[in-house]
């Protein structure tokens, strides 16, 4: 007979926590659930479901809406976002000739999850996995505490030579259940602008962000 595996100190508690996290992720799926609904579906007590869900929100596994409901967070959406966004970003790149990117927030920074580079020799590049502070047009959207105020009537945010001379960008938010989960960014060398990144390409970037949001 094979001997049973002896648990190391603390391993039992770790396994229980992982079981709870897994159960909550399975319960939430593509829906938005309150802590009470999570407790009902998982068999956890309401206090435990609320406590674990709060911890999962803090680490980006869940996202909490203003009405108290929980949905999948940015960490869980990054890979699906990358896969869903790629064809829309490619269409944006081909239509504009410029570099099309998708950024998500990671703590107090922004993470590039997809970047399709311009075919021009003079181009702006960013490898997936690159991490920057929350500046630039995409950073402003991801860091925004009031999206309506940040976007204004335009629906996009632009940046011109704020981080690097000669570079500009325009971004629009990817939204799921009312929460910003990413930002589509078109990066353009200033020398190829007719007016400004927003005036030249803002509506195309908004359209791409909305297409990705709908695909989610």
pLDDT digits (tens, 9 = 90+) for 10-19: 456 778 888 8
Residue with tokens 């570099």, as numbered in its chain: 99
Average per-residue pLDDT for the chain = 86
Asked if residue 183 lies in contact with residue 156, where contact means CB atoms within 8 angstroms, the answer is no
Q: List, in sequence order, every beta strand (DSSP E) within the chain.
A: 62-64, 70-72, 99-106, 109-116, 131-133, 157-160, 167-176, 179-189
| SS3 assignment, position 37 | helix
Asked whether the predicted pLDDT for residue 80 surpasses 50, the reply is: yes
Band (3; pLDDT cuts 50, 70, 90): very low
The model's pTM is: 0.68
Q: What is the pLDDT of residue 2?
A: 42
Least confident of 29-43, 70-84, 190-204: 70-84
Q: What is the pLDDT of residue 11?
A: 58
Backbone angles phi, psi at 34, to 5 degrees: -80, 170
Q: Residue 130 — pLDDT band, cuts 50, 70, 90?
A: confident
Q: Residue 188: name the closest of 212, 173, 205 by CA.
A: 205
Comparing 66-70, 73-77, 82-86, 123-127, the range with the smallest average pLDDT is 73-77
- pLDDT of 102 > 90? The answer is yes
Helix (DSSP H) and strand (DSSP E) numbers for the chain: 7, 8
């Amino acid at each position: 007979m094979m001997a049973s595996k002896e648990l190391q100190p603390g391993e039992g508690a770790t396994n229980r926590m992982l079981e709870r996290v897994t159960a909550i992720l399975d319960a939430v799926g593509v829906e938005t659930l309150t802590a009470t609904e999570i407790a009902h579906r998982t068999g956890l007590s309401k206090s435990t479901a609320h406590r674990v869900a709060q911890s999962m929100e803090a680490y980006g596994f869940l996202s909490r809406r203003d009405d108290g409901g929980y949905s999948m967070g940015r960490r869980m959406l990054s890979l699906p976002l990358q896969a869903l966004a790629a064809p829309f970003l490619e269409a944006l790149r081909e239509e504009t000739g410029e570099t099309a990117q998708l950024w998500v927030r990671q703590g107090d920074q922004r993470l590039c999850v997809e970047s399709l580079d311009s075919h021009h020799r003079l181009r702006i590049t960013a490898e997936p996995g690159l991490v920057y502070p929350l500046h630039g047009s995409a950073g402003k959207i991801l860091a925004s505490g009031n999206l309506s105020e940040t976007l204004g009537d335009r629906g996009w945010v632009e940046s011109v030579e704020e981080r690097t001379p000669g570079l500009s960008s325009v971004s629009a938010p990817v939204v799921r259940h009312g929460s910003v989960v990413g930002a589509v960014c078109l990066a353009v060398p200033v020398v190829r602008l007719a007016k400004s990144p927003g005036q030249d390409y803002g509506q195309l970037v908004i359209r791409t962000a909305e297409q990705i949001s709908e695909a989610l």
